[in-house]
Amino acid sequence: MKKRITRKCPFCWSNPYLYKTKSGLFRHICNNHLLDSNQNWLLPPWNRAKYIAKQTEKGIETIEIDSLQDVENWLNEYWEGKIDPGKKRSKIWRYL
């Protein structure tokens, strides 16, 4: 059996949601944190996403993304813990 690691959602630290699988965390990000080009909450299909909403103590901060693939690539790095400081990071890493 595969060992599952619980991870918190980095976009809503104030709400400590724990996810056992990467797909569960990705689904949570898509459902609760994606915004369209007018910064309105997005419903499926999520490929129209232009921003990610991050909850902070001051309110909601938006992070611009190029595509949903950026979010998937970032999530893979986040989930595996493979963060190399020398490597050029995506826009998402700069805001977290």
Whether the predicted pLDDT of 96 surpasses 60: no
Q: pLDDT tens, 5-27?
A: 556 787 876 555 677 788 888 88
What confidence score (pLDDT) does residue 1 get? 47
What confidence score (pLDDT) does residue 85 get? 47
Q: Domains of the chain: which residue ranges? A: 7-78
CA–CA dist 32, 40 (Å, integer): 11
Question: Hey, what long-range contacts does 55-58 have (CB within 8 A, 24 or more apart)?
Answer: 55/11, 55/12, 55/13, 55/14, 55/15, 57/14
Q: Which two tokens stand for residue 40?
A: 């309105």
Q: pLDDT tens, 37-95?
A: 888 888 788 888 888 888 777 888 888 888 888 888 888 887 777 665 445 566 666 56
